[in-house]
Amino acid sequence: MKKGIIVASFGTTYEETRKLCIESIENRVREKYKDFLVLRAFTSQMVINKLKKRDNYNVNNIREALEEMKNDGIEEIYIQSLHILSGYEYEKILRQTEEFIKDNRDCSVKIGKPLLYDDEDYEKIVKILNLPDVKADEWIILMGHGTSHETDISYDKLEKIFREKGYEKVSIATVEGRITIEDLIPKLKNEGVKKVFLRPFMLVAGDHVINDMVSEEEDSWKSILEKEGFNVEGILEGLGQLREIQDIYLQHIEKIMD
């Protein structure tokens, strides 16, 4: 029986980071599972629609990718989420898959966990990022996407593990979660910080990183921090570029196959 793997991410409208952070993982999946049909899916319909309208570039959503698998005669399907948290976008995968299965009882579909799920994944990520030592008046801030979903607390858990591993000058703030960049400014000033390194904790270095983190717009993190007197340096590297992060996603596929 033919088998298939759907690699599912939120998606991005930026071609370069798509190739670096999403296609790179898809290619590793194809390399490892040569006998499988491997398809891409985005969970953001907004991103899908924009790519279609702007570039005439077609990407499946989850249901469409599942239907394509079915039409190719594939009844054993695995979906690997490239999301960071098991939040709303991950739940979208679960929901669309459940709807598909109701209409296709002959298909078996298993879904791999996102990046921050098992305790061991948190430990691995801290080791993989291998953040550099900083001077007494320097600080590292990781930009997470954040969410109103309860899984936003995952960032707190990760920051706690950074502390346990000896990273005293690392904080995580989010674009849309509970802890924002403004929340960290009093702490930075209290610690006598002069220079801040900004680094994305997102799969891709896309719109949030380019515009919200390091642009010259007045509401970017870089501009906000500079107005408060900090020297700011941005590091533009999505997590999907790191081979060791890719390994975690591949291990999550192995788990659902086992």
Q: Which residues are catalytic?
A: 145
Give CA–CA dist 119/131, Å, rounded: 19
Asked if 10 and 51 count as a contact pair (C-beta separation under 8 A), the reply is no
Give CA–CA dist 12/25, Å, rounded: 14
Is the pTM for the entire model greater than 0.85? yes
- Span between the terminal Cα atoms of the chain, in Å: 17
For position 92, what pLDDT does the model report? 97
Segments making up each domain of the chain, as ranges: 3-115+241-257, 119-239
For position 65, what pLDDT does the model report? 98
User: What percentage of residues in the chain have a pLDDT greater than 70?
Assistant: 100
- Has residue 157 got a pLDDT over 70? yes
Q: What angle do CA 47, 151, 154 make, to 5 degrees?
A: 105
119-239 has the same fold as 3-115+241-257: yes
**Annotated binding residues for Co(2+):** 145, 176, 208
pLDDT in tens, 164-191: 999 999 999 999 999 999 999 999 999 9
- The architecture (CATH level 2) of 3-115+241-257 comes to 3-Layer(aba) Sandwich (3.40)
DSSP secondary structure string for all residues of 47-76: HHHHHHHHH----B-HHHHHHHHHHTT--E
Asked if 230 and 192 count as a contact pair (C-beta separation under 8 A), the reply is no
Domain topology for 119-239 = Rossmann fold (3.40.50)
For position 1, what pLDDT does the model report? 61
